[in-house]
Amino acid sequence: MNRLHILFIIIFFSLNNLLAQKSPVISQKVRFGSSAETNDVMSQAYWDIWNSEVQARIDNDIEKYRKADAILKFEELPAGSEVKVEQVSHDFIFGAHIFNFNQLGTIERNQKYKDLYGTLFNSATIAFYWKPFEMQPGRLRFREEYWDTEEYWNQVEEPEKKPHWRRPATDPVVEFCESKGIRLHGHPITWSAPRFHPEWLFEQFCPANEKEKIDQLGHEGLRDLTNAQIEELIPVYTKEINRLFRKRIVDLAGYYKGRIHSWDVVNESRSDFNFHKTSLTGDGICLAQRGKINLMPGDYTYHSFKLAENVFPNNVLLNINDNVLQDTNAYNAYINQIKDLVSHGCRIDIMGSQMHLFNPHQCLDIAEGKPIETPEIVWNKMETLSKAGLPIHLSEITITSPGDDERGREIQAIITRNLYRLWFSIEKMMGITWWNVVDGCGEPGEPTISGLFTRDMDPKPSFYVLNQLINEEWKTNLVLKVNEDGTATFRGFKGEYVVSWKDKNGNVQQSEFYLKKDGDGFQTFP
């Protein structure tokens, strides 16, 4: 063997290794989920649950609910002419939060992150948590300051310790998404979780004498009081907290108007409804059912929706959102809450439901075939939620890798593929939003290896699985031939299309249309 031949072999293997590092290839067992090929990753018990009959039902439901028949009419094209049909966007929402905008430490990582929006994701959830958004009363973090810039974050050694980590100024994010045609979702407006309320809310607007009364009673003492008794105890703070919560909704609506397409108007309020059994009690203040003392405006879910309906444009969608556990009682309580709000005149457009597999052991248990988020559980859950009569947004999902190794990442990818396929097949489902896109970028207490990418923005098998589904399997691209009657028909995934053809002079013509329901299409005119 001569030196040239040896050099060729060295270069060949070096290039292969380099490509493998830059673009990891998902094996057939991950990409296609064949039980015969996955015995070293998922147990036979797992594949017995996700069997061929289940997969066939999923395929049939995707065909039924996610596609429609298109009819294209061409006035001047002779029969047999070729027409190119290209899907350019999805009707279905494939989203992710964009909390780490410009915060990943290098220009290269930040660019990879941004590139996901408009390619893999067509929707971005923007953080509006009250505490970091309004750190000082009246100073809302719409506009970018130096500590929001990429330059600033690239120099920070421990970004997770900064108060605005995962909470970027909103204007740059909104403008970025608008430039790429990304749907925008605001999260959240009203939430009773005390750790997301600014300290100044209580410190500056509760009088000293009322603070003293609260301190003397403590949490348990307040628990023994009715809402009316709490209001009598702290009348000034009752008035102020109602004013400030209303002001927050008005501020957000007044600033962005219709630029943000949908909002989580109220987040995780089911526990309060479950306690009161009604959304409208007539109280001025209430003690929220979340851990330590957290005073909220009375009937805050009702008032938040009614005010939002009045101050946001009609085309802005108003969502309710909750983390509903694998518990029939919890699901029924959530449905009852929505029906109660609607019966009192609230407009609710979308029902948000979360699904977090935060515990790595859960995903390992799933791989071993334990009954966690099985097809039957998911179908029953969604059938129950569908009784509310609203489109369902799977608003926050987490699928954790059971280990930061090859098998752990492949388990995450296989679970992701099967669950996304199942969710996509549900009739009432209108969107799915992945929560933490990048490893190590979650909230304290959330798993560090639940992302689609490593902390260095290297793609994991779960990314390739989603990319294959969203941009390959679930996109329609065809070449059709015009029929004798001048039509060309096809069944495709719902969304926006570009149709191209050559006219009688040989010039390429194009037209756009949106496929939403059977019979949609377009017609050309001479």
Cβ neighbours, 10 Å, residue 234: 22
For the chain, helix (H) and strand (E) counts, in that order, are 19, 17
**What is the pLDDT, as a whole number, of residue 32?**
41
Q: What is the pLDDT along the chain (526 residues), one digit of tens a residue?
A: 443 343 333 333 333 343 333 333 333 344 444 434 455 799 999 999 999 999 999 999 999 999 999 999 998 899 999 999 999 999 999 999 999 999 999 999 999 999 999 999 999 999 999 999 999 999 999 999 999 999 999 999 999 999 999 999 999 999 999 999 999 999 999 999 999 999 999 999 999 999 999 999 998 899 999 999 999 999 999 999 999 999 999 999 999 999 999 999 999 999 999 888 999 999 999 999 876 789 999 999 999 999 999 999 999 999 999 998 767 788 899 999 999 999 999 999 999 999 999 999 999 999 999 999 999 999 999 999 999 999 999 999 999 999 999 999 999 999 999 999 999 999 999 999 999 999 999 998 899 999 999 999 999 999 999 999 999 999 999 999 999 999 999 999 999 999 999 998 999 999 999 999 999 999 886 6
| Residue type (1 letter), 111 | Q
Joined together, the tokens standing for residue 436 give: 């933490």
What is the distance between the terminal CA atoms of the chain, rounded to a whole angstrom? 69
pLDDT at 356: 95
Which residue matches tokens 């969107």?
A: 431
398 DSSP β-pair partners: 356
Q: 450-460 b/e with 16+ CB inside 10 Å = b?
A: bbbbbeebebb
Q: What would the two tokens of residue 262 be?
A: 């949908």
Helix (H), strand (E), coil (C) string for 397-459: EEECCCCCCHHHHHHHHHHHHHHHHHHHHCCCEEEEEECCCECCCCCCCCCCCCCCECCCCCE
Tally Cβ neighbours within 10 Å of residue 238. 23
Domain residue limits, the chain: 109-430
What pLDDT shows up at residue 291? 66
Q: What's the token pair of residue 419?
A: 């669950």
- HEC profile of 337-358: HHHHHHHCCCCCCEEEEEEEEC
List CB contacts of 289: < 8 A, sequence separation 6 or more: 192, 271, 272, 274, 275
The amino acid that residue 242 corresponds to is: N
Beta bridge partners of 210: none
Cα–Cα separations (whole angstroms), residue 258 to 142, 174, 255, 434: 15, 12, 9, 24
| The Cα angle at residue 38 between residues 34 and 41, in degrees rounded to 5 | 145
Closest CA to 67 of 476, 449, 524, 500: 476
CATH topology of domain 109-430: TIM Barrel (3.20.20)
Spatial distance between the Cα atoms of 371 and 380, rounded to a whole number of angstroms: 13
Q: Which of 502, 524, 520 is nearest to 511 (CA)?
A: 524
Instruction: Give the CB-side neighbour count of residue 297, counting CA atoms within 13 A.
Output: 21
Identify the three-state secondary structure at position 121.
strand
Q: Which pLDDT score is estimated for 14?
A: 39
Which DSSP helix (H) or strand (E) runs through 496?
strand 495-502
Give CA–CA dist 473/133, Å, rounded: 39
pTM: 0.92
Quick one: three-class SS letters along 66-113? CEEEEEEECCCCCCCCEEEEEEEEECCEEEEECCCCCCCCCHHHHHHH
Which tokens is 182 given?
């990304």
pLDDT at 388 (0 to 100): 95
